Each structure stands twice: as structure tokens, then as C-alpha cells.
Amino acid sequence: MQALVHSATKMRIMQIYRDSVADGLGLRTVIFFAGCGQDPKCPLCQNPEAWSAGAGKELPMDTLICLATATKNNEITFSGGDPLTFQFPYALEAARILKTRFHKNIWLYTGYRWEFIRKSAILSQILPYIDVLVDGRFVNRLRDISLKFRGSSNQRIIDVPASLKENRVIDLTDQIE
Ligand code: SF4
């Protein structure tokens, strides 16, 4: 399988949601990137309106960064759609700015698995800017509403800096549950 990265000409965002406590530890501003390139889509996906690459609204990068950092104490979560597909170049740039200039803690949700991202020369470029990756597709038969920060039990909550350092998956899921 090859990473599906389309270079959309403009960044498109579904929504920026402030003060979430459901999309990672602490109080977070969630950026919902438009478009999901996963094929097939996850059956019973909760967010089908975000599938199209043309969904949402165009947003310049500086506006996104202003909106994402307006609530100074909030950390950041990237969600979607799937931020690692149609909007990947913009997600990469936003992650770089939010980490290097604003020192934000960043969680990222994607349908790709860690092993796939790690092997991809393109997708792995975002990993140095991400703190926690929630990986894998949503699988409805593994859905469990008691799970924290994930929809189905196949998804893992991965410590990205530690995993990069040790070159193996450091899975935080059990610690966080
Ligand atoms: S990766 Fe996310 S947005 Fe895409 S189909 Fe699966 S659950 Fe839905």
C-alpha cells in the first residue's frame, strides 16, 4: 500500500473546536482536517461528511495558526477526516509551526498504522513534531464507548518521541485506560 498524499492547492479545514477533553489528555484545541483518503472507508465512520477532499473551508496557514493558538493554555489535536491523506502537506507544516514556534503538545489521529507511517519517507516527516499518535482505522465490531480517546480497541495510543528513540512502538494505551 502506498500513502495517499494529494497536494490539495489550498488547506481545507472542517472545524476548529476549542476546549475538548475527549481528544487527548488535558484541554485541547482540535483541528479537523478535511478529507479522508483511506480506501475502503471505515464502516460506520462517525465523520462521513469529512471524507471529501473538497469538504470544509479553505483556510490560510497563518489564520489556522492564529485560531489554534488563540487559547494559549490549550494543547493541540489533529483529527479529521484523516490529516495524513489529502491535507498531509498542510498538516505537516502546521505541526512544524505549532511544535517549533509554540511548543505545543500535539496528538494526531489517523487511519494509518504506526508501522506504515514509519516506513513511508513522506508520512514519517511529520513524526518529529507529534507527541502522541492514535493509530489505525475505526473498526465497528471493536467499538467500545468506555475506551478513552479512541473509538475501537484496535487503535493504539503511541508515545511518538519514545518510539522514534527506541525504534519500536511504545504503546501508552494501557497506562491511559
Ligand atoms: S480514517 Fe477516520 S475519517 Fe477516514 S473513514 Fe476511517 S474513521 Fe472515518
pLDDT of residue 146: 94
The single-letter code of the amino acid at 51 is W
To test ligand 1's pocket by mutation, which of 4, 15, 41 has the most ligand atoms within 8 angstroms of CB? 41
Query: What distance in angstroms lies between residue 45's CA and the mean position of ligand 1's atoms?
Result: 6
Q: Give me the pLDDT at residue 73, please.
A: 92
pLDDT category, 106, cuts 50, 70, 90? very high
4 in a structural domain: no
pLDDT over threshold 90, residue 50: yes
The reported pLDDT for the residue numbered 4 is 54
CA atoms within 13 A on the CB side of 34: 18
Residue 167, Ramachandran bin (φ over 0: left; ψ between -120 and 50: alpha; else beta): left
Ligand 1 centre to CA of 37 (Å) is 8
| Domain assignment of residue 139, given as a range | 12-176
Mean pLDDT score, 85-108: 97
| Residues in the chain, overall count | 177
Residues 140-150, mean pLDDT to the nearest whole number: 95
Residue 60 covered by a domain? yes
Could you tell me if residue 172 is inside a domain?
A: yes
Tell me the mean pLDDT in the region 59-67. Answer: 95
- The reported pLDDT for the residue numbered 88 is 95
In a domain, 5, yes or no: no
Domain count, the chain: 1
Dist. CA 133 → ligand 1 center (Å): 15
Taking only the tens place, the pLDDT of each residue in 122-132 is 999 999 999 99
Distance CA 5, CA 11 (A): 13
CB-ligand 1 contact for 42 (6 Å cutoff): yes
Report DSSP letters for 43-78, one per residue: TT-S-GGG-STT-SEE--HHHHHHHHHSSTT-EEEE
Work out the mean pLDDT of the chain and round it to a whole number.
94
Q: Is 36 in the pocket of ligand 1 (CB under 6 A)?
A: yes
What spacing in Å lies between the alpha carbon of 119 and ligand 1's midpoint? Answer: 21
Q: Report which secondary-structure segment, H or E, holds 94.
A: helix 88-100
Which residue has the CA at smallest separation from atom 3 of ligand 1?
81
Domain harbouring 167, CATH code: 3.20.20.70
Residue 1 lies in a domain: no
**153 in any annotated domain:** yes
Q: Is residue 3 part of a domain?
A: no
pLDDT for position 177: 81
Place of cell 494543547: 75
Model confidence band, residue 10 (pLDDT cutoffs 50, 70, 90): confident
Specify if 137 maps to a domain.
yes
140: buried, middle or exposed (CB in 10 Å: 19+, 13-18, 0-12)? Answer: exposed
